[in-house]
Structure 1
């Protein structure tokens, strides 16, 4: 179970990187779309830290 949680954490980081790259590519063409992808990248980074903290909390309780 711990291995699957780490894979999902890395998945959130990969998604954040993809959205950041998409933000950079769209920045000069469509600013509103770039803001939306930037929001999703920040959300993915927040989810990464939330899941990591939650996993460590569960590991410490066991």
Structure 2
């Protein structure tokens, strides 16, 4: 199960990249929507970092 979580956390990075691309394409047309996409991409990156740190903490605890 732990290997699944190790790889699924990178889904958050993939979603953040897609949202940043979306923001880039909407920048000239709808700036408000572009800002929303950027904010959501930052949120996804924060979730990725939190989940990665939490998973590593659990792995260290299990190895002891």
Q: TM-score normalised by the shorter chain: which range applies?
A: over 0.9
TM-score of the superposition, structure 2-length normalised? Answer: 0.92
Flag as ranges the 4+ runs of structure 1 deviating above 6 A. Answer: none
1:32 maps to 32
Deviation at 1:57, TM superposition (A): 0.4
Deviation at 1:54, TM superposition (A): 0.3
TM-score of the superposition, structure 1-length normalised? Answer: 0.94
Deviation at 1:9, TM superposition (A): 1.0
The Cα RMSD (Å) is: 0.7
Once residues 57 and 16 of structure 2 are traced to their aligned partners in structure 1, the CA distance between those partners, rounded to angstroms, is 23
Mark the structure with the bigger radius of gyration: 2
Once the two structures are superposed, residues 31-56 of structure 1 have per-residue CA deviations (whole angstroms, 9 ceiling, x without a partner) of 00000000110011001100000000
Matches of residues 1-62 of structure 1 in structure 2 within 5 Å? 1-62=1-62
In structure 1, list runs of 5 or more residues that go unmatched.
none
